[in-house]
């Protein structure tokens, strides 16, 4: 049944891919989803602005509710040229596969809607905005009641994985992805001539020492068994060879898989920054913007999904995933209901489809579309009839 939808899936994916919309601006994507659901006769309601929630009721609809989620926002990236289905919106691109996720969930909706007399319970389709931007569309969908009326018993999400060849699927029980917090730091000193540093308060020297000192948060403050990352990717000291600037601006990220340590690390970052800045005589303005929590796959649900996937495609097509320190707002669902977030292989080296997500050359082997629909539909059916 999934294979029979392949041409339609490819057409839908191209339509969405060529019209990428940034987080919380997915107006045309949302309209397309509603149009497709109307065509299928599936009732829906708008949520969290551009979000859409829809229901497919089987027999005994209150017996169990399985939520299926797709995100639909794009990234502020300029896509490589030359693709007939490439982005028509300059500086915007579906570089994380959310066009694939939305397409697969629409295909899954069509397949399961055709089978609604053959399963028990209800499928709740969650088309979610704003995964790429704090506070995350998942948190807003939950706030708007997406997990209620009817109450979702389990949530399942699928995400492309360009490191994994097409035809493979990845699962991991327990902790899988990290929390993610954004760090913004401005150091205010006293600028002046580089030949007279004694007349200045140098924020560049202070920034260098703070960056080095903050590495102790992970290397000496973290329990070695708790995965942690503290990285800084932006430093602006807009002086010159002979000009000490007034200010230095720094941005970074902190990620981990433990909420207690996360809070403790925030305090260590604040304390070290304040202390080092004071020792240099500079004034520090520090903001730690709390992002998504860690993502935990419910062990029992994920074990069932993995077993079902193996029965569907064979054990040779199933891979065990490692912990990944990237973040995903699907994590919010995992902190509210038993959840399983698994991976869909999209790589094809023979065709040059090798780029990772968030890269301007990212693409997929489109055979993954029907494979994604087949797997998501199968997992939902197995869970509903469990």
Give 36-58 pLDDT, tens digit per residue. Answer: 999 999 999 999 999 999 999 99
- Give Dmax (Cα) for the chain: 81
Q: What is the mean pLDDT of residues 107-111?
A: 98
DSSP state of 137: H
Q: Give the class (CATH, top level) of 181-290.
A: alpha beta
pLDDT tens digit string along 229-266?
A: 999 999 999 999 999 999 999 999 999 999 999 999 99
Q: How far apart are CA 63 and CA 67, in angstroms?
A: 14
Residues 209-227: b if buried by 16+ CB within 10 A, e if exposed: ebbeebeebbeebbeeeeb
Q: Cα separation of 358 and 327, whole Å?
A: 13
Topology of domain 3-176+293-384, per CATH?
Answer: Aminopeptidase (3.40.630)
pLDDT number for residue 192: 97
Question: Could you give the CA distance from residue 53 to residue 147 in angstroms, rounded to a whole number?
Answer: 10
Q: pLDDT-based confidence at 386, cuts 50/70/90? A: confident
| Rounded Cα gap, residues 119 and 125, in angstroms | 16
Q: Where are the alpha helices (DSSP H) in 200-282?
A: 203-214, 216-219, 259-280
Cα–Cα–Cα angle for 53, 289, 211, rounded to 5 degrees:
140
- Name the average pLDDT for the chain: 98
Residues 6+ apart with CB under 8 A from 239: 191, 194, 204, 245
Q: How far is CA 70 from the centre of its chain?
A: 10
Q: Which two tokens stand for residue 312?
A: 């569907």
Could you give phi then psi for residue 6, rounded to 5 degrees? -55, -45
Span 209-220, average pLDDT: 97
135 prior amide bond cis, ω within 30: yes
The per-residue pLDDT for 250 is 98
The residue behind tokens 């959310």 is 98
Banded model confidence at residue 365, pLDDT cuts 50, 70, 90: very high
CA dist list (Å): 152 to 71, 131, 297 = 18, 20, 16
**Could you give the angle at which helices 203-214 and 259-280 cross, rounded to 10 degrees?**
150
pLDDT for the residue numbered 334 = 98
Domain boundaries, the chain: 3-176+293-384, 181-290
The average pLDDT across 356-373 equals 98
- Residues paired with residue 232 on neighbouring β-strands, in sequence order: 252
Instruction: Find the helix or strand (DSSP H, E) in which 265 lies.
Output: helix 259-280
Mean per-residue pLDDT, 23-33: 98
Tokens representing 125?
Answer: 């389709």
Exposed / middle / buried, residue 238 (Cβ in 10 Å: 0-12, 13-18, 19+): exposed
% the chain with pLDDT above 70: 100
Tell me the per-residue pLDDT of 148-167, one tens digit each, with 9 for 90 and over: 999 999 999 999 999 999 99
């Amino acid at each position: 049944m999934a294979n029979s939808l392949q041409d339609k899936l490819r057409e839908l994916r191209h339509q969405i891919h060529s019209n990428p919309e940034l987080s919380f601006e997915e107006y045309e994507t949302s309209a397309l989803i509603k149009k497709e659901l109307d065509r299928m006769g599936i009732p829906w309601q708008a949520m969290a602005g551009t979000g859409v929630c829809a229901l497919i009721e089987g027999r005994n609809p209150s017996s169990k509710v399985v939520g299926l989620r797709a995100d639909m926002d794009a990234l502020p990236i300029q896509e490589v040229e030359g693709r007939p289905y490439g982005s028509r919106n300059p500086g915007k691109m579906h570089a994380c596969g959310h066009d694939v996720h939305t397409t697969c969930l629409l295909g899954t909706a069509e397949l399961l809607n055709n089978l609604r007399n053959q399963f028990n319970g209800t499928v709740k389709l969650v088309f979610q905005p704003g995964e790429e931007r704090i506070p995350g569309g998942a948190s807003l969908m939950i706030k708007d009641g997406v997990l209620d009326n009817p109450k979702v018993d389990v949530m399942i999400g699928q995400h492309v994985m360009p490191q994994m060849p097409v035809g493979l699927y990845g699962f991991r029980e327990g902790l899988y992805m990290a929390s993610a917090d954004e760090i913004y730091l401005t150091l205010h000193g006293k600028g002046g001539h580089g030949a007279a540093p004694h007349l200045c308060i140098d924020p560049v020297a202070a920034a260098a020492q703070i960056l080095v000192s903050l590495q102790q948060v992970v290397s000496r403050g973290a329990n070695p068994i708790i995965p942690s990352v503290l990285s800084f990717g932006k430093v602006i000291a807009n002086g010159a060879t002979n000009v000490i600037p007034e200010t230095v601006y720094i941005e970074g990220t902190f990620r981990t898989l433990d909420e207690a340590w996360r809070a403790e690390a925030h305090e260590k970052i604040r304390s070290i920054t304040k202390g080092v800045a004071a020792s240099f005589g500079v004034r520090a303005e520090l903001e730690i913007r709390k992002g998504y929590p860690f993502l935990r796959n419910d062990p029992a649900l994920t074990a069932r999904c993995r077993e079902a996937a193996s029965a569907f495609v064979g054990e040779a097509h199933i891979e065990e995933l490692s912990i990944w320190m990237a973040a995903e707002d699907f994590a919010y669902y995992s902190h509210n209901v038993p959840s399983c977030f698994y991976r869909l292989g999209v790589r094809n080296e023979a065709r040059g489809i090798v780029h990772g997500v968030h890269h301007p050359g990212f693409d997929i082997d489109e055979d993954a579309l029907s494979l994604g629909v087949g797997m998501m539909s199968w997992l939902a059916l197995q869970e509903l009839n469990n």
